Amino acid sequence: MDLSVSQFPAWLLWLANACAAACLLFCLCKVKWREQSVSALNAWMGACVLDLALWLLRAGLQPGLSFHLLGGALFVLMMGPWLALPALALVQIALALGGHAQWLSLGVNWLLSALPAVCVASVALRLAQRYLPRHFFIYIFVNGFLAGGASLFAAAVCGMLALGAAGDYEWDALLEQAVPYYFLLSWSEAFLTGLLLAVLTVYRPQWVATFDDASYLGDKPDSGR
């Protein structure tokens, strides 16, 4: 989504910015900074740069309806929701600095894209950990592939609901023109999230905060025996 300033009243945009700032402050307070390793923080910054590139590779047919990968689920799995939300905010700020986004619309875009995506991915992770077996395939397929696709589609639905409620588009037009594109894009998000998660858990498991070798792969045999 790339919601524009012209699509919402000014008071709503300022209110969204205030709510987004309050949510981000809460997230930053919840992060256990002393427990974060230098390697994990470097991975966090690298993921932000990669996600910025994904956001720049976007296309849009009409104002407010842009199509790009989100990366919210991967951020949640790598660093948890409290660091995922600031990371997505940092990506949007970088877009605004580069002239690819409007400053006044950052709050509404973050609330309607980053927040629902991270919430869906976080809830999916909690449900999988509670009700499904701790298996590597389940972690990759459910938390990476399925939750990744669902997170992007949820963000798209929130944006379309906002556009429809604001009267910028007819509901029929959104259903016929936007929903099919976002549904197809969600599969790309699912594939990319699952693929990157599989690579990271194999080669850099220390960068994936929600992955534990002992839980998903079992205890490794002692190489000295």
Q: What is the tens place of the pLDDT at every residue in 164-203?
A: 888 888 898 888 888 988 999 999 999 999 999 999 998 9
Beta-bridge partner residues of 2 = 64
Q: Please report, for residues 63, 73, 104, the alpha-carbon distance to residue 9 in angstroms, rounded to integers and kept in the order given.
A: 16, 30, 11
Question: Which value, to the nearest 10 degrees, does the dihedral of the CA atoms of residues 49, 53, 54, 58 take?
Answer: 150
Helix count and strand count (H, E) for the chain: 11, 2
Global confidence as pTM: 0.90
Provide φ and ψ at 197, rounded to 5°: -65, -40
Q: State pLDDT tens for residues 7-57.
A: 889 999 999 999 999 999 999 999 988 888 888 888 889 999 999 998 888
Report domain extents, the chain.
5-216
In a 3-state reduction of DSSP, which class is residue 2? strand
The tokens describing 158, both together, are 């929130």
The position carrying tokens 């099919």 is: 180
Measured torsion, CA atoms of residues 204, 208, 213, 216, in degrees rounded to the nearest 10: -130
Q: Indicate the fold that domain 5-216 takes in CATH.
A: Arp2/3 complex 21 kDa subunit ARPC3 (1.10.1760)
- Higher per-residue confidence, 139 vs 220: 139
